[in-house]
Each structure stands twice: as C-alpha cells, then as structure tokens.
Amino acid sequence: MQFIQPISSLIPSRPGGIEAEKMDKRKVKSYRDRLLARREGLVGQVEAAEMYSRERDSEATQDPADMAANAYTKELLVSMSANDRKLLELIDEALDRIEEGEYGECVHCGEPVQEKRLEAVPWARHCLRCQDLQERGLLTEDEE
C-alpha cells in the first residue's frame, strides 16, 4: 500500500508553520499607530525647518558672522530635512505594506522580519541578513 504525501509537506515552511507567517492584527495595528505618530512628528519637523529657512532668507543680515551662522544653520536644517524626508518615505512604504498585508516581511527575500527589529525600527524593510547585505553594498536596488 502506497501513501500519498500531502502537498503541504512538500512546501518548505518557515519556523512556526504557516500560522506564524502572518502577524497578529493587534500587533499590526500597534505598529501602524506608531508609524502614523512618527510620521506626524516628522511632517511637523520638516515644515518647521522649511519655515525657519525661509524666515532666515528673508532677514537682511549685514554682519558677516551672522551671515555665516545663518548659512551654517540653513545647511544643517536642509541636511536634517533631507534625512527626515527619507525617513518619511520609509514610513510611507511601511504603511503601504501594512495595507497590502505584507508588513513584517523582508522586501528582498520575503522572510519574516524579526519582531524585536520591528519594535526598534517599525519602518524596517529588510530582515537582518538582507539588511547586513544592503549595508555592505551587496544588495543592489534591482534586487530590493
């Protein structure tokens, strides 16, 4: 007598089985709330930096030291603003992944992103292995 193996046994499963692949809805909501709160704070920071920069541009400073200090401050704010914009982009991508039901999965390999990593960086795109590859320049944008 020959036994037929169920197809589910032929598909490699992740640790914890298929049930562990999808994240608990309460946890997803918690991450979503944290992402939205962080996004709101960043939008406020970017807007404040842009307003401060415009105000500094409109001031007529005659003193070269004041002009140098203003230029330095403006450059610092522009730099911070660029970093904040990148973080906003990552947060928006994470919110999109939540809507698509793909949050908590590595965008490169599809493996689950560790929960501790999501707790620390809720906008994380990669699992630890792929993040390491990206940081070392071994993960190209085409592969992401």
Confidence of residue 110 (pLDDT cuts 50, 70, 90): very high
The region of weakest confidence among 15-19, 34-38, 118-122 is 15-19
Q: Are residues 79 and 115 in the same domain?
A: no
pLDDT in tens, 62-84: 677 777 777 777 777 777 778 88
Decide if 100 contacts 22 (C-beta within 8 A): no
Which domain, by its residues, includes 127?
106-144
Q: Are residues 42 and 93 in the same domain?
A: yes
Alpha-carbon Rg for the chain, nearest whole angstrom, is 22
pLDDT at 130 over 90: yes
pLDDT in tens, 21-64: 567 899 999 999 999 999 998 888 877 777 776 776 666 656 77
Name the nearest CA neighbour of 74 among 86, 64, 63, 66: 66
Q: Are residues 62 and 123 in the same domain?
A: no
Average pLDDT, the chain: 78
The region of weakest confidence among 2-6, 24-28, 90-94 is 2-6
Cα(23)–Cα(20) distance, rounded to whole angstroms? 7
Q: Are residues 33 and 63 in the same domain?
A: yes
Cα(23)–Cα(89) distance, rounded to whole angstroms? 23
pLDDT at 123 over 80: yes
Residue 15 falls inside a structural domain: no
Q: Are residues 34 and 72 in the same domain?
A: yes
Amino acid letter, 90: L
Strand ranges for the chain from DSSP E = none
What pLDDT score does 5 carry? 41
